[in-house]
A and B are shown apart, each in its own frame.
Chain A
Amino acid sequence: MKTGRNYFATYLVLVALAVGMMFTRGAASLGLAAIQAACFSLVFLELRHGRQLYRVIFLTGLAFFVLLLSICFIDAVTRETVQPQIPRGTGLR
């Protein structure tokens, strides 16, 4: 059963993870974000205790996002690209 305490406890965990994120970079920070997202979805979006249909809708959305990402990624990685110039305005000249 959902209670205010559950939300607050999860909230503290999420904030702790966010603080931890500040000290990481790259894949590690994204990994922490994934853990945050999982905790958040299970509790705040009520995916753990809610109706099966909501899980299906949410996971389908995620799945199609992953589909778009993966095939575009496969294409980009297996293509022969010419090394582009450093884009302007980033301070690196």
Chain B
Amino acid sequence: MAARKRFPNYLNQSRGWRSWLLTTDHKRIAVMYLVAVLTAFLVGGIFAMLIRIEHLTPGQTIMTAEQYNRVFTMHGVVMVFLFVIPAIPVSLGNFVLPLMLGAKDLAFPRLNLAAFYVYLLGALFTITAMVTGGVDTGWTFYTPYSTTTHGSVGLMTMGLFILGISSVITAINFMVTIHQMRAPGMGWFEMPLFCWGIYATSVIQVLATPVLGITLVLLLMERVFQMGIFDSRLGGDPILFQHFFWFYAHPVVYVMILPGMAIISEIIPTFSRKTIFGYKAIAYSTLAIAGIGFLVWGHHMFVAGQSELATVIFSLLTFLVAIPSGVKVFNWLATMYRGSISFEAPMLYAIVFILLFGIGGLAGLFLGALSVDVHLHDTYFVVAHFHFVMMGGTVMAFLGGLHYWWPKMTGRMYSEKAARVACALIFVGFNMTFLTQFVLGSRGMPRRYYTYLNQFQPLHAFSTFGSWVLGLGLFVVLAYLLASLRKPMDAPGNPWGGTTLEWTTQSPPLSENFVEPPVAERLPYDYRPAETSA
């Protein structure tokens, strides 16, 4: 029997709870963040299950209408602010970015730890708001309801403000790291595309999150002092709230998807054993998505009362933002074309991403068309759209990245057989749940409604059954990932044949990442035979 390998790595190089809670090692912070965001995913998922069970029958199934309003609000808030926005950057980004750049750590390691605790503080406020009466406004907090309703809106807005601070700190940290700490020989167009994705995400967070911050401050002022800025009785403008809110919240959906796309850009070349097609096109498209993403926020407000001119401008710009996303999808497919493809779990999730994000993105175009949106706005069509892009997109990419970098992070391989079963369950369950909702929405089922007409019940029930299959698949993933931790740490340094710098270290890496600071000698995704590479 082989003895358990006991080589030094970041997990065992220092011991004791203080060495974790006071660490400045980006890898340990990433692991702590991972536990936190997965917990948030679980909590948000439980709320989702409750929503779906309630919708098994029209009228009351397991909760009252007031409870239902609080449950869907909590589901949205927890999923959006505690999970989807931070998840990939703070866990996988934190872990992998310095390694990919050949750096020892991020630019500001102590700030990294501070951001983690600020995140926990924000999460604490949010959870406290949940248990002290809850919030029933929907995750969008539209005025005047949010300024007048009872419930813990104040606590929740403070929690979100604090979470926003954590986001901005991390974003600044990532940006400076990419500017200043690339290995010698690694120019901007020689770094992995994952880094481009993280960079663009961080730019959005620095510029957009403060606007949410000030919106929340004004919301609080309105609630506490009846200031009047959003109250038409007092001379204010409720639509102004929506402008401010969506100026942040639309770019933030690109914060959610860009890291996911960044992961896909890493997985596809590795599992096609082929250079990525159109590196510069993908890099520029990433920046374009970030930029154009700031110009389209009014498409959430087509029927809110903004002027017709503004509506037309926003609709036009919304169609534009689909173009760079399309460029990326085609480049990924072109990378796979005539590649030597293998279908391990990361690649399965990547392929699922392309399919589901494609569907979700196309649905977005329906919603961007003004005349169509009048009928689809605030129906389950919208719900299906954003679940396809956020879950079919970001969560699938997150799972793919988690599997891809799992051996690097933990030193163990997961069970590939179990992974394929889980992926199948997740794919089937997801489509059962959300493809149905496109149909529900186009037939008129409104969102955020407690009850519904009897004719919608079969589809609702089918969607609920799908959510159980989806949930089962996710639990299977949790189970085999945790089970893998009991195996010995015998994963190779480069199990997938990746070409980026993180694969040149041991699995798991040393605390200081590299024995000697690496020099970038070859381009990423360079799969040419050794004697012909530069």
Whether the Cβ atoms of A72 and B232 lie closer than 8 Å is no
Q: Are A61 and B234 neighbours in the complex by a CB distance under 8 Å?
A: no
CA distance A78 to B314 in the complex (A): 14
A84 and B235 in contact, given A67-B294, A79-B305 (Cβ under 8 angstroms):
yes
Whether A75 lies near B243 (C-beta < 8 A) is: yes
B237, A87: Cβ atoms under 8 Å? Answer: no
Beta-carbon contact of B306 and A79 below 8 Å:
yes
Mostly, the A contact residues are helix
* B307 pairs with A61, CB closer than 8 A: no
- Asked if A3 is an interface residue, CB under 8 A from chain B, the answer is no
Q: Which of B211, B247, B313 contacts A74 (CB 8 A)?
A: B313
Residue of A nearest to B305 (CB): A79
Query: Is there an interface contact between A75 and B207, defined as CB atoms closer than 8 Å?
Result: no
User: A52-93 vs B: 1/0 string, CB under 8 Å?
Assistant: 010000001100100110011011111110001111100000
B305: chain A residues at CB < 8 Å are: 79
Closest CB in chain A relative to B246 CB, distance in Å? 11
Tell me if B207 and A60 are in contact (CB < 8 A): yes
B294 touches A75 (CB 8 A): no
Flag whether B38 is at the interface (Cβ < 8 A).
no
Pairwise interchain contact A72-B243, C-beta atoms closer than 8 A = yes
B310 touches A68 (CB 8 A): no
Cross-chain contact B298 with A75 (CB below 8 angstroms): yes
Q: Which of A72, A77, A80, A88 contacts B240 (CB 8 A)?
A: A72
In the complex, the answer to whether B310 meets A74 with C-beta atoms within 8 Å is: yes
Do B294 and A79 have beta carbons less than 8 Å apart? no
Q: A residues bordering B, Cβ < 8 Å? A: 53, 60-61, 64, 67-68, 71-72, 74-80, 84-88
CA distance A80 to B294 in the complex (A): 25
With A60-B207, A87-B235: A71-B308 Cβ-Cβ less than 8 Å: no
Instruction: Report the bound CA distance from A66 to B234 in whole Å.
Output: 27
Chain B residues with a Cβ closer than 8 Å to the other chain, count: 22
For this complex, 8 residue pairs linking A to B, each with C-beta atoms less than 8 Å apart, are A64-B207, A64-B294, A68-B211, A71-B243, A72-B243, A74-B307, A74-B310, A75-B298
A80 → chain B closest CB, angstroms: 8
Q: How far is the CB of B288 from chain A (nearest CB, A)?
A: 15
A79 vs B294: C-alpha distance in the bound complex, in angstroms?
Answer: 22
User: Known interface pairs A64-B207, A64-B294, A68-B211. Does A78 touch B228 (Cβ–Cβ under 8 Å)?
Assistant: no
Q: Is the CB of B298 within 8 A of A79?
A: no
A85 to B237, CA, bound (A): 13
Give residues of chain B (274-296) contacting chain A, Cβ–Cβ below 8 Å: 294-295
- Chain B residues near A61 (CB-CB < 8 A): 207
Pair A85/B294 contact, Cβ less than 8 Å: no
Please give me the residue from chain B that is nearest to A77 by CB atom: B307
B243, B305, B310 pick with most chain A CB within 10 angstroms = B310
- The residue of chain B having its C-beta at the shortest distance from the C-beta of A87 within the complex is B235
Contact present for A75 and B247 (CB under 8 Å) = no
Q: Are B295 and A67 in contact (CB under 8 A)?
A: yes
In angstroms, Cα B240 to Cα A53, docked, is 33
B298 near A71 with CB under 8 A, answer yes
Smallest CB–CB gap between B108 and chain A, Å? 17
How far does the alpha carbon of A16 sit from the alpha carbon of B228 in the complex, in Å? 37
Query: Which residues of the partner chain A approach B298 to less than 8 Å between Cβ atoms?
Result: 71, 75
Whether, in the assembled complex, B309 has its beta carbon less than 8 Å from a beta carbon of chain A, the answer is yes
> How far, in whole Å, are A9 and B313 apart by their CA atoms in the complex?
46
Q: Is the CB of A68 within 8 A of B247?
A: yes
Q: Which of A53, A76, A79, A85 contacts B235 (CB 8 A)?
A: A85
Beyond A61-B207, A87-B228, 16 extra complex contacts between A and B, CB < 8 Å: A64-B294, A68-B243, A71-B243, A71-B298, A71-B310, A72-B240, A74-B309, A75-B307, A75-B309, A76-B237, A78-B308, A79-B239, A79-B305, A80-B307, A86-B235, A88-B234
Residues of chain B within 8 A (CB-CB) of A77 are: 307
Please state if A78 and B295 are interface contacts (CB–CB under 8 Å). Answer: no
In the assembled complex, the CB of B202 is this many whole angstroms from the nearest CB of chain A, namely: 12
**Distance in angstroms between the alpha carbons of A49 and B295 in the assembled complex:** 32
Cα A45 to Cα B247 with chains together (Å): 28
Enumerate chain B residues within 8 angstroms of A76, measured Cβ to Cβ. Answer: 237, 240, 307
Among the listed A75, A86, A87, which residue makes an inter-chain contact with B306, where contact means beta carbons less than 8 Å apart?
Answer: A75
Q: How far is it, in angstroms, between the C-alpha of A86 and the C-alpha of B306 when the chains are bound?
A: 22
Contact residues in B for A85 (Cβ distance below 8 Å): 235
Q: Which chain B residues border A53 with CB–CB below 8 Å?
A: 179
Tell which of A75, A80, A86, A87 touches B310, judged by Cβ atoms closer than 8 Å: A75
B309 closest partner in A (C-beta): A78
In contact, B307 and A78 (Cβ under 8 angstroms): yes
Shortest Cβ distance from A64 into B: residue? B207
